[in-house]
Amino acid sequence: MTGSCSKRKNVKMSKTLTGLGAGLCVSLFLAAFGATAQPVYDPMRPSMSPLAPLATGPTAQGSQAELDPKLGNLPVGPGAEDTYYQCVGCHSTAIIRQQRLTDDRWDYLWTWMIDEQGMQEPEPEIAEQILAYLKTHFSSER
Amino acid sequence: MTDKITDGRSDKAEIADEPTRRTILKATGLTALGAYVGMNIPFEGNLMALAQGMSEEDIMSGKNGLVLLNDRPLNAETPAHLLDDDVTPYKHFFIRNNGFVPDSALDMDAEGWTLTIDGEVDTALELSIGELKSRFEEVTLRLVLECGGNGRAFFNPGASGNQWTTGAVGCADWTGVRLSDVLNAAGIKSSAVYTAHHSDDPHLSGDPDKEVISRGVPIEKALAEGGIIAWAMNGEPIPAVHGFPLRLVIPGYPGSASQKYVNRIQIRDQEHDGAKMTGYSYRVPAYPVAPGTEVPEEDMVVLTDMPVKSLITFPQSGAQAAAGEAMEVRGHAWSGSGDVASVDISIDFGATWTPAALEAPVNKFAWQRFRADVTLPQAGYYEVWARATDLNGVSQPPVVPGWNPRGYGNNMQHRIAMIAT
């Protein structure tokens, strides 16, 4: 799959790098995929991990939630905007969107970001709103 | 759209002409790569990453088929079937970056670079790369580098960090000098306990006083076989994203022990407490805990040897095979202690196992090729599972091993789907 996608995409590479055509490979990929019958079950899909019960929260929920492309594809919801501006000074939202953590771990990461990485602490109400947003959308608990 | 864009190079040249591009990207925090997070990077055959004056984004153009986990900082993993080579080529080598790639690396400019060895030594050394090359014996070793968090994606509840599945591993030929030779030249004092590695890569916050990462290893590990200070990867100067001009490669330990852009190795009289040595970083609970447990920080201990592991690199998961006919399945096995004894293969969900042929490593800490002929008895869906065992008889578990807050050391058996027709 990847191979056919790469070949067709090769010539367009530089443009996509400058920001255009981001969705392009997705459609090529799907088209290529569609040509070869149904997708084969992947035994190494993270949600299929043998220890994992059914995938809850993050990925399942995340794929349904509407994403806001203006806010780094964070899921739409109260606190999204504050979270975006608080968090993207150092890294992209990609590291946030990958998480599905316990509430305790989010509380810990919040202080880690401040104490170890130099994140500026916002006003308490804003902090509360951001943490609530993170615990809602990137949670292993809900 | 397609017709407009036929020549990749002219666009590239434009980018190279913009001297402030990198600065702008860092300041605005916007990268065009962001749109590719979670996707395979399809860019093929372009080696801009080795060219001068590139930006961080250009790096991904030299990385073929990797899945981008994070665009800032760059983190990307390699699908299993792209790791089939004995020596992982640059284009398929995973990226684990904690901070930014330094401009000196992007420019491939090693002018004036020195490596300092100080702390608990008889004579502190400050060595140019030329001195490293002339004073010490050059060695080339094939060494596995694996991120400590490889397999993190399978922990439940989730563990924080990049959600690596199986692809934060690679095995390249590294050329340099033995770490032990250089440390012994400085003279290790009896008070020496731990190394502390330092580099000049910029912190994501832009704060010049913050170290991105500064890890170390027990002095015994630093002096043991395998560890090198490398300046070449697969016969070429180490590419920017992998640590140009100098990096440590300390095999067997989590990849973070192998500092990129290394400019100082300090010898300490206590366990190092630099960036990402403390708290939960590269640490596991001192005792077994139930998934999701909050473990007090003081009960976390440093992760050392990586566990025994294997990966099926051929065929690609989902491949078809004729029922009743033998087909080769192959891959690599490695372990943090550098001693894989055997690999077994199952086509019946682990109910029965058959030994694979296992090649000796070309040197300690190189991964070892395994091969097995499998015959799928009748048409239908099969899974091929691989299980490596080390010399102590310790094998890979069929399920995710001990949960830990940061998701380290997952060496569960790798499995691929095969369809018999």
Q: What is the pLDDT of residue A98?
A: 93
pLDDT in tens, B362-416: 999 999 999 999 999 999 999 999 999 999 999 999 999 999 999 999 999 999 9
Of B29, B40, B65, the CB nearest to A88: B29
Higher-confidence residue: B56 or A47? B56
Q: What is the pLDDT of residue A9?
A: 32
For residue B29, list chain A residues with Cβ-Cβ distance below 8 A.
88-90, 92
Q: What is the DSSP string of B78-141?
A: --GGGG-SSS--GGG--EE-SSPPPHHHHTT--TT-EEEEEESBSS-EEEEHHHHHHHS-EEEE
| Confidence (pTM) | 0.87
pLDDT at A1 over 60: no
pLDDT at B8 over 60: no
Task: For residues A26 and A71, state if they share a domain.
Answer: no
Mutate to test the interface with A, among B41, B156, B282, B404 (most CBs of A within 10 A): B156
Q: Provide φ and ψ at B228, rounded to 5°.
A: -135, 160
Structural domain that includes position A27? 2-34
Q: A10-24, A32-46, B369-383: which has the minimum mean pLDDT?
A: A10-24
pLDDT at B15 over 50: no
pLDDT in tens, B139-184: 999 999 999 999 999 999 999 999 999 999 999 999 999 999 999 9
Strand partners, B146: B169
Judged by CB atoms closer than 8 Å, whether chains meet at A10 and B415 is answered as no
Q: What is the pLDDT of residue A45?
A: 87
In angstroms, rounded to a whole number, what is the distance separating the alpha carbons of residues B129 and A25?
42
Task: For residues A19 and A65, state if they share a domain.
Answer: no
CA distance A75 to chain B (A): 15
Task: For residues A24 and A56, state if they share a domain.
Answer: no
A40: in domain: no
A42: in domain: no
Judged by CB atoms closer than 8 Å, whether chains meet at A13 and B8 is answered as yes
In this structure, are residues B193 and B268 in contact, taking their beta carbons and an 8 Å threshold?
yes
Chain position carrying tokens 């490398």 = B230
Judged by CB atoms closer than 8 Å, whether chains meet at A16 and B32 is answered as yes
Of B36, B44, B166, the CB nearest to A44: B166
Class level of CATH domain B309-420: mainly beta
Task: For residues A64 and A132, state if they share a domain.
Answer: yes
CA distances from B396 to B233, B338, B390 (A): 29, 15, 9
Q: What is the pLDDT of residue B60?
A: 85
Q: What is the pLDDT of residue B174?
A: 98
- Token readout for B25 is 């990207």
- Token readout for A132 is 């609530």
One-letter amino acid of B93 = F
Task: For residues A86 and A21, state if they share a domain.
Answer: no
Task: For residues A28 and A87, state if they share a domain.
Answer: no
CA distance B71 to chain A (A): 7
Average confidence (pLDDT) over A118-133: 97
CA distance A77 to chain B (A): 21
Please tell me the total count of domains within chain A: 2
CA distance A103 to chain B (A): 10
For residue A50, list chain B residues with Cβ-Cβ distance below 8 A.
398-400, 412
Mutate to test the interface with B, among A1, A2, A67 (most CBs of B within 10 A): A2
Q: B62-66, B273-277, B379-383: which has the minimum mean pLDDT?
A: B62-66
Q: What is the pLDDT of residue B54?
A: 64
For residue A46, list chain B residues with Cβ-Cβ distance below 8 A.
153-154, 163, 165
CA distance A14 to chain B (A): 5
A47: in domain: no
Q: What is the pLDDT of residue A64?
A: 62
Q: What is the pLDDT of residue B311?
A: 98
Rounded to 5°, the CA angle B22-B25-B31 comes to 120
- Token readout for B352 is 């029965």
Nearest CA in chain B to A69: B35
Judged by CB atoms closer than 8 Å, whether chains meet at B279 and A112 is answered as yes
Mutate to test the interface with B, among A1, A9, A14 (most CBs of B within 10 A): A14
In this structure, are residues B267 and B119 in contact, taking their beta carbons and an 8 Å threshold?
yes
A45: in domain: no
Average confidence (pLDDT) over A51-63: 42
CA distance A22 to chain B (A): 6
Going through chain A in order, the beta strands assigned E by DSSP cover 67-68, 74-75
Of B42, B80, B165, the CB nearest to A25: B42
Of A6, A26, A46, the CB nearest to B154: A46
pLDDT at B88 over 60: yes
Task: For residues A94 and A60, state if they share a domain.
Answer: yes
In this structure, are residues B240 and B106 in contact, taking their beta carbons and an 8 Å threshold?
yes
pLDDT at B51 over 90: no
Q: What is the pLDDT of residue A46?
A: 83
Of A91, A101, A117, the CB nearest to B73: A91
pLDDT at B19 over 50: no
Task: For residues A124 and A60, state if they share a domain.
Answer: yes
Task: For residues A131 and A88, state if they share a domain.
Answer: yes
Q: Domains of chain B: which residue ranges?
A: 11-55, 67-302, 309-420
Pick from B156, B35, B160: nearest CA to A60: B156
Q: What is the mean pLDDT of chain B?
A: 90
pLDDT in tens, B326-372: 999 999 999 999 999 999 999 999 999 999 999 999 999 999 999 99
Q: What is the pLDDT of residue B61?
A: 83
Which CATH number is B67-302 given? 3.90.420.10
Task: For residues A61 and A129, state if they share a domain.
Answer: yes
Percent of chain B with pLDDT over 70: 87
Judged by CB atoms closer than 8 Å, whether chains meet at B162 and A98 is answered as yes
Judged by CB atoms closer than 8 Å, whether chains meet at A140 and B1 is answered as no
Task: For residues A78 and A13, state if they share a domain.
Answer: no
pLDDT at A126 over 80: yes
- Token readout for A42 is 């992947």
Judged by CB atoms closer than 8 Å, whether chains meet at A90 and B383 is answered as no
pLDDT at A16 over 80: no
CA distance B354 to chain A (A): 20
Task: For residues A11 and A56, state if they share a domain.
Answer: no
